[in-house]
Amino acid sequence: MPQAIHFYEPRLGHGLPHDPFNAIVGPRPIGWIGSLSADGVPNLAPYSFFNAFNYTPPIVGFSSTSLKDSVRNIEATREFTWNLVTRPLAERMNATSAAVGPEVDEFALAGLAPAPSRIVAAPRVAESPVSFECRCTQLIQLQGQDGQAVQAWLVLGEVVGVHIDRGLLKDGVYDTANAGHILRGGGPSDYFAIGPEQLFHMFRPGAKS
Kindly report the backbone phi and psi dihedral angles of residue 132, in degrees, each rounded to the nearest multiple of 5, phi listed first.
Answer: -110, 135
Residue 191's pLDDT is 95
CB of 73 within 8 A of CB of 43?
yes
208 is a domain residue: no
Q: Is residue 36 part of a domain?
A: yes
Residues of the chain with pLDDT under 70: 1-2, 209
* Residues near 112 by beta carbon (within 8 Å), at least 6 away in sequence: 44, 92, 96, 106, 125, 126, 127
Domain of 41 in residue numbering reads as 29-196
Within-domain flag for 84? yes
Q: Which pLDDT score, from 0 to 100, does residue 2 have?
A: 67
Residues 123-181 have pLDDT tens digits of 999 999 999 999 999 999 999 999 999 999 999 999 999 999 999 999 999 999 999 99
Contact between 84 and 180 (Cβ < 8 Å): no
Q: Tell me, what's the pLDDT at 193?
A: 95
How many CB atoms are closer than 10 A to CB 74? 25
Per the structure, how many domains does the chain have?
Answer: 1
Asked whether residue 202 is assigned to any structural domain, the reply reads no
Is 101 inside any structural domain? Answer: yes
Q: What is the CATH number of the domain that holds 101?
A: 2.30.110.10
Q: What was the pLDDT predicted at 186?
A: 80
Tell me the backbone φ, ψ of residue 124, rounded to 5 degrees. -105, 170
User: Is 159 contained in some domain?
Assistant: yes
Question: Structure pTM?
Answer: 0.93
Q: What is the pLDDT of residue 22?
A: 87
User: Residue 206: what pLDDT?
Assistant: 82
Count of Cβ atoms closer than 10 Å to residue 174 Cβ:
12
Any domain includes 207: no
Judge whether 166 lies within some domain: yes
